[in-house]
Amino acid sequence: MREGTQSEQGADDPSFIPPIAEYGHGGSARQGNSINGGYVYRGPIAALDGRYFFSDFVSDNVWSIPSDEFSQGSTISSNNFILETDALTPDAGSLSGMVGFGEDNDGNLYILTIGGDIFRIEPN
């Protein structure tokens, strides 16, 4: 960068890829404050296969986006997100303060909390 310029190419460089999904900042039902990126589910639960899971640290919500939404070629609105929070009921502890995700060799998806808990998504 040169002094006095933001970058060599600027904010509208054609090589930049626009976001594939938008999640608004705020406190309404389809907004949040702190996104934790996740993984595409590839585990044994067929109904979840191909969904991209992510969470919001502040609202403690877990969302997914079906993979068929990614092929549309336009930015995915939060209206198309699936709220997964109520379906994810841990047998111990709580899904609060989620800070990350993990995946094992079998495609199982894990949710990590700031308190050190690790939860695996399993069928009911």
Per-10-residue mean pLDDT for the chain, 124 residues long? 50 78 84 88 94 93 87 79 90 90 95 94 86
* Longest distance between any two alpha carbons in the chain, whole Å: 58
So what's the pLDDT on residue 9? 55
Query: How many domains does the chain fold into?
Result: 1
Does residue 50 sit within a domain? yes
Domain with 113 in it: 24-120
DSSP letter, residue 76: B
Does residue 44 sit within a domain? yes
So what's the pLDDT on residue 60? 92
pTM of the model: 0.81
So what's the pLDDT on residue 56? 93
Does residue 41 sit within a domain? yes
Does residue 7 sit within a domain? no
So what's the pLDDT on residue 2? 42
In one-letter notation, the amino acid at residue 106 is D
102: Cβ contacts below 8 Å, ≥ 6 apart = 39, 109, 110, 112, 118
So what's the pLDDT on residue 1? 39
Does residue 4 sit within a domain? no
Does residue 15 sit within a domain? no
The tokens 């069928």 sit on which residue? 123
So what's the pLDDT on residue 115? 93
